[in-house]
Amino acid sequence: MSRTIDPFTAVPKYFQLASILRQNIEDGEWAPRSPIPSERQLEVLYNISRTTIREAINSLVQQGYLYREHGRGTFVSPQKLQKGWMELTSFSEDLVKRGLVPGQIIRSLQLMQPPQRVLQRLELPAGSLVHRIERVRLADGTPIGLQTSYLSLAPGQEITMQEMEKAGSLDRILSEKFHIIPTEADETLEVTLATPEEAGLLQVATGAPLLLNERVLFSQERTPVEYVKILYRGDRYQYFVHLKRQAIAENPR
Amino acid sequence: MSRTIDPFTAVPKYFQLASILRQNIEDGEWAPRSPIPSERQLEVLYNISRTTIREAINSLVQQGYLYREHGRGTFVSPQKLQKGWMELTSFSEDLVKRGLVPGQIIRSLQLMQPPQRVLQRLELPAGSLVHRIERVRLADGTPIGLQTSYLSLAPGQEITMQEMEKAGSLDRILSEKFHIIPTEADETLEVTLATPEEAGLLQVATGAPLLLNERVLFSQERTPVEYVKILYRGDRYQYFVHLKRQAIAENPR
DNA sequence: TAATAGTACTGGTAGTGACCACATTACCAG
DNA sequence: CTGGTAATGTGGTCACTACCAGTACTATTA
C-alpha cells in the first residue's frame, strides 16, 4: 500500500491521502479516540496544501472514520467498521454475518406489466414493462424470506435466467452489466400475516406473523430503478439498519 | 428570508448561501433536474469566492438537494423533501405526516440499574445507573406503541417528570438541556407476539403480532447515549427509513 | 491560593489564482 | 453527409495566504 503521495498519477492527491489515513485507522496504527496529526503537520509531512488535506479529512469524517473537535484536533472514531448499507441490507452478507449459509431458489423471471402499485413506486407510465424476479431466500437450507423484485430497465436491456443464476446477486448484475449503482433507497417495514400460499413457501402456518419489507431503490440520478417486496419469516429474521444524521449544520452562532 | 449574503453576521457565508439555494429548491423556483447557476456565475451574483460557493454546494449535494455532473453543471434533485432521519424516526413527526394526532402517556421515570442487555448496548460497567422512561405512545388517542428508553447521562445530570411533560420530546431535552445531539443510531426490527401485559397496554389480544424496534443512539463522539425499545401494534404501524449510500468515492482514473 | 491574561496550539472560514477533465456546440475538411 | 477539431463553458483539483474561533496550558496578578 502506498504510504506516500504520488504527484504524477491521475489519482487525486486528496484521495491518495484519504486512503493512507484510512489504512492507518483500519490497521489499528491509530487507536480509537486518539488524535491524528494536525492539519498543519500533515501539510509538512506529505508536502500537500491544507486545502487538499482538509478535503481528504472531510471525506473520512463524512464516512465516519474520523471526527473533528474545534480547537482540539481530529480524532479516530471508535467505530466497528460499518460497511455501506448495501452490504447490510444485502441478503447474503446479512446472513453470513450471523453465521448462516445463504441460498436462494429462483422461482420465476419474466418481463411483464406490473400491478398499479409497482408502477407508481417506479414512477412509470401505465402499460410499461418491467422485469419481475421471484425468489425464495434460504438460510441454512430452510426458507426465511420470499422476495419479489421489479426492475425498471431501459428498452433492450435484458436479464436472463442464466445470468441470474451465475451472478447470484441482482445488485451485481445491475452494476456490472448495466452500470447502475443504486445510491438511495426508501424502505418500509410492517407486520403481516401469512396467506396460505406464502405459508406454504415459507414453511410456516397460515396466519403466522411475517415481516413485510418494501424497498424502492434509486439510481445516482434519483430515478427509481427497482421495487422490492420481501416477506420474512417473523420467527427467524431480524432487520438491521445503521442510521446517520446528515450533518444538519445547525445555524452556527 | 435573506436573499443576499450578509458579510457582517457571524453566520458563515457558505451557510448563508446554502440556505438561499435550499430555499430556491424547496420553494420550487428551480425545477427538478434543471441546472442551478454555474459556480462562476454564483461567484459574481453573490460576490463570494468559488471556494465558498463550492462548500455551500457540497453540503447541499451531501444532503441530497443537488447533484453534480462533471462538464455539464449542477442540478436540482427530483426528490420529495427528505427530512433528517431524526424527524422520520421521531414518533410525533412520523404520525403527523400520516395525518394522525400524536400523544403520549408517561408511565414512569426513574433512576435504576438496567438489565444486563441494556448495559451492554450502552457500553456501561456493571452497577451503572441510568434513567429509565416508560411511555405509551398514542395516535388519535389510541395506543400504538410501548416505548422504554434507557438514558446514559453523566453523574449529576437529571431529568424530572415536569421537564419530560413540558418538553414532550426526549430528544429536545437531550439537545437543549444536555447539548447532546445524537448523530448515529443502530436499529433492529423484528416481529414478536404480545405478552398479556403488553396486550393490555396496547389494547390488543394476547399473542397479537407486534413490531419490536430496538435502537441505540450515539453522540457526536460515538458514545452510546440512549437505548430505546419500542413495541408497535403490528396492525397500525409502519416503519419507514430512507437509506443513502455513503459516497464510496471509487478510485477515480 | 485562586482568578486572570497571555500564548501557542487546534480546526473553521474565506479569498485568489491556476490548471485539468469532461461535455457541448459550431465549424470545417473530407 | 460524416468525422475531426477547436472554442467555450462546466465542474474537479490544488496551492498559497490570511484571519477567526475554540482549547489547553502557562505565567502573571490580585
How many domains, in total, are found in chain B?
2
Average pLDDT over every residue of B223-233:
92
Average pLDDT over residues B145-170: 83
Q: Is residue B72 located within the same domain as residue B90?
A: no
Taking Cα atoms as reference points, which of A2, A196, A245 lies closest to residue B62? A245
Asked if residue B248 belongs to a domain, the reply is no
Q: Which residue has the closest alpha carbon to C9 C1'? A: A71
Strand arrangement, sheet containing B130-139: A239-244, B184-193, B209-218, B224-233, B142-151, B130-139, B102-112
Q: How confident is the model at residue B5 (pLDDT cuts 50, 70, 90)?
A: confident
Q: Which of A8-17, A80-89, A178-187, B84-93 has the lowest mean pLDDT?
A: A80-89
C-alpha cell of A181?
Answer: 449503482
User: At which residue does the C-alpha cell 501539510 appear?
Assistant: A43
Side-chain-side CA neighbours of A121 within 13 Å: the count stands at 24
What is the domain range of residue B30?
Answer: 13-76
B163-198 confidence digits (pLDDT tens): 888 777 787 777 777 777 777 888 889 999 999 999
Residue B148 near residue B134, CB atoms below 8 Å: yes
Which nucleotide has the least CA–C1' distance to A38?
A: C10
B66, part of any domain? yes
Whether residue B239 is contained in a domain is answered as: no
Mean pLDDT of chain B: 86
Of B56, B76, B96, the residue at which a domain comes to its end is B76
Most confident of B5-9, B66-70, B79-83: B66-70
Q: Give the H/E segment covering residue A68.
A: strand A66-69
User: Is A243 in Cβ contact with B85 (below 8 Å)?
Assistant: yes
In a domain, B243, yes or no: no
Grid cell at residue A109: 423471471
> Could you say which of A23, A45, A76 is where a domain stops?
A76
**Residue A63 and residue A89 in one domain:** no
Do residues A133 and A154 share a domain?
yes
Based on the fold, state whether residues B162 and B183 are members of the same structural domain: yes
Query: If you measure CA to CA, which chain A residue comes closest to B83?
Result: A246
Same domain, B91 and B211: yes
* pLDDT given at position A214: 94
Q: Please, which pLDDT band fits residue A240 given cuts at 50, 70 and 90? A: confident
pLDDT at B249: 44
The grid coordinates listed for A52 are: 487538499
Please give the Cα distance from A240 to B184 (Å, whole number): 14
Say yes or no: B187 and B93 in one domain.
yes
Choose the final residue of a domain: A33, A50, A76.
A76
Which pLDDT score is estimated for B251?
40
Contacts B73 to A, Cβ<8 Å: none
A34: closest CA of chain B, how far (Å): 12
Q: Rounded to a whole number, what is the distance in angstroms from the first to the last CA of chain B?
A: 42
CATH of the domain at B121: 3.40.1410.10
Distance C20 C1' – B12 CA (angstroms): 29
Checking if the pLDDT of B144 tops 70, the result is: yes
Decide if A238 is inside a domain.
no
What residues in A contact B205, CB-CB < 8 Å? none
CA of B43 to C1' of D9 (A): 15
- Residues A57 and A21 sit within 8 Å (Cβ to Cβ): yes
Q: How would you classify residue B222: left for phi > 0, otherwise alpha for psi between -120 and 50, otherwise beta? A: left
Residue B168 maps to a domain: yes
CA distance A159 to chain B (A): 25
The alpha-carbon gap from B250 to the nearest alpha carbon of chain A, in Å, equals 10
Q: How far is the CA of B11 from the C1' of C4 (A)?
A: 30
Q: Band of the pLDDT at A60, cuts 50, 70, 90?
A: very high
Same domain, A188 and A70: no
| Rounded mean pLDDT, A229-248 | 81
A214 and A194, same structural domain?
yes
Note whether B91 and B156 are same-domain residues.
Answer: yes
Strands annotated E in chain B: 66-69, 73-76, 102-112, 130-139, 142-151, 184-193, 209-218, 224-233, 239-244
B253 and A190 in contact by Cβ < 8 A? no
In A, which residues are within 8 Å of B185 by CB distance?
242-244
Nucleotides, chain C, CB distance < 7 Å: 9-18, 21-24
Q: Give yes or no: residues A216 and A124 share one domain.
A: yes
Of A84, A188, A238, the CB nearest to B238: A188
Mean pLDDT across the stretch A135-154? 91
Q: Highest mean pLDDT range out of A151-155, B77-81, B106-110, B178-182?
A: B106-110
Q: Which residue of B has its CA nearest to A19?
A: B251
Q: Is residue B90 domain-resident? A: yes
Cβ A62–B63 below 8 Å, yes or no? no
pLDDT for residue B248:
44
Beta carbons of B241 and B233 less than 8 angstroms apart = no
For residue B243, which amino acid is it? L
Say yes or no to pLDDT of A30 above 90: yes
Confidence of residue A91 (pLDDT cuts 50, 70, 90): confident
What is the CA A167 to C1' C1 distance in angstroms?
Answer: 75
Q: What is the pLDDT of residue A78?
A: 83
CATH of the domain at B62: 1.10.10.10
Pick from B172, B191, B236, B237 the residue to mutate for testing the A interface (most A CBs within 10 Å).
Answer: B191
Q: Which of A49, A41, A37, A62 is nearest to A12 (CA)?
A: A49
Question: Do residues A95 and A48 both lie within one domain?
Answer: no
Q: In this predicted model, which residue has the larger pLDDT, B42 or B242?
A: B42
Say what the pLDDT of residue A208 is: 95
In eight-state DSSP terms, residue B251 is: -
Which of A89, A243, A244, A245 should one mutate to test binding to chain B, selecting the residue with the greatest count of B CBs within 10 A?
A: A243
B67 and B110 fall within a common domain? no
Q: Which nucleotide is nearest to A54 (CA to C1')?
A: C11
Kindly determine whether the C-beta of residue A38 is less than 7 Å away from any atom of nucleic acid strand C.
yes
- Out of B63, B79, B186, the one facing A246 most closely (by C-beta) is B63
Q: Is residue B113 part of a domain?
A: yes
Lowest mean per-residue pLDDT among B64-73, B168-177, B223-232: B168-177
| Rounded Cα gap, residues B47 and A77, in angstroms | 38
Specify burial of residue A28 (Cβ count, 10 A radius: 0-12, 13-18, 19+). exposed
Residues in Cβ contact with B24 at an 8 Å cutoff, skipping those fewer than 6 apart: B30, B36
